[in-house]
Amino acid sequence: MSETEETYGEETGEGEDDMDMEEQQEEEPEVEQENEDKPENEEEEGPPDNPLTQEIVSEGLSLICKTGDGLAHAYVRLDIHEKEITDLEILKNFIHLRYIDVSKNNLKDISPLSSLTHLLTLKADENLLTSAKLAEMPFLQIASFNHNKIQTTEGVSHPMLEHLSLNFNNISSVTGLDSSKLSRLHTLELRGNRLESTDGIYLPNLKNLFLGANVLKKLEGLGRLISLTTMHLRDNQLENLDGFSDSQKLLQYINLRGNNITTAKEVTKLKCLPMLRALVMSENPASEEDDYRLEILIALRKLERLDKDEYTEEERTEAEEIFEHRRQEAEANEGVSF
């Protein structure tokens, strides 16, 4: 099967990779830390060499479109997932590929893909990669490297990249994400890694940030995430809510489920977020307090939903009355404004 075989097929878009952000906001899947250190004296035996062949490529090619210069047609989609492949060297010759799935193989190196300058989407989940580094890909929009052994965020500098997934790897800190080269990146997924801090995520155009199932103990550098609307911090080790900034004027949804926040009063530190409308605080010690829902609404009176339930008009009325009573009492007793 020739990559340049002609046809009258029309080019189509990639709909499969679109994320339903609303659904993810409602309920994230249960996640566990999957990357456990092996004993130092235990050496992992590598898979046998199994380079990608022309035959396997031919079986995985589909979707014929016009080439970039419009003078010919070529196959632009390649699906070679779950083939136990260890080497992609042959793909250097398939320069017209735009959509590639090499997931569930035994790849330690994907550098041959750097030759594919028309690439739009790359799925490389469940391999043996220790890095997501590639030469700058001028048109790459979606890249997924979930469930690998990646230790660093260095080497990702694709100017058209919009969605980057690095879930369930071994990343302990975020470095090398250059906002000037990742100006179109709107969604970053780093679930199930080893992050202890949010420091290093300096992406002012980022809208959705997924950091669940790490070991986060502190929130740092959030003031630079001025376009963020959704933030998932579920299943971490946060004991306080220090770090949010009044420069985060667009942040609407925060998921803090399964952390170590002991008092509902801690949410007063979220008053600086004028657009916050939905908050998840279940499975924190604070959620066991009496009047948990009410105390959070008193602190954040514009909040529309806590956990899975929207606030009722009765709850809002009660919260307003208690807030006003406390304000007047504080002014009378201490002579200070509330």
User: For the chain, what are the domain ranges?
Assistant: 80-85+102-109+121-334
pLDDT at 177: 96
What does the alpha-carbon distance between residue 337 and residue 323 come to, in Å, rounded to a whole number?
Answer: 12
Cβ atoms 205, 183 nearer than 8 A: yes
Fold adopted by 80-85+102-109+121-334:
3.80.10
pLDDT in tens, 76-92: 999 999 999 999 999 99
Q: Which amino acid belongs to residue 287? A: S
C-alpha triplet 256, 261, 267: angle, nearest 5°:
70
pLDDT at 250: 98
Number of other residues whose CB lies within 10 A of the CB of residue 4: 11
Predicted TM-score (pTM) of the model is 0.86
What does the alpha-carbon distance between residue 26 and residue 315 come to, in Å, rounded to a whole number?
Answer: 21
pLDDT in tens, 136-192: 999 999 999 999 999 999 999 999 999 999 999 999 999 999 999 999 999 999 999
b/e map of 194-215 (b: 16 or more CB within 10 Å)?
A: bbebbbebebeebbbbbbbbbe
What does the alpha-carbon distance between residue 196 and residue 198 come to, in Å, rounded to a whole number?
Answer: 7
Give the residue ranges of the chain where pLDDT is below 70: 1-44, 335-338
Cβ atoms 129, 150 nearer than 8 A: yes
Among all chains, which residue has been given the structure tokens 């799935």?
Answer: 101
Among all chains, which residue has been given the structure tokens 């004296």?
Answer: 41
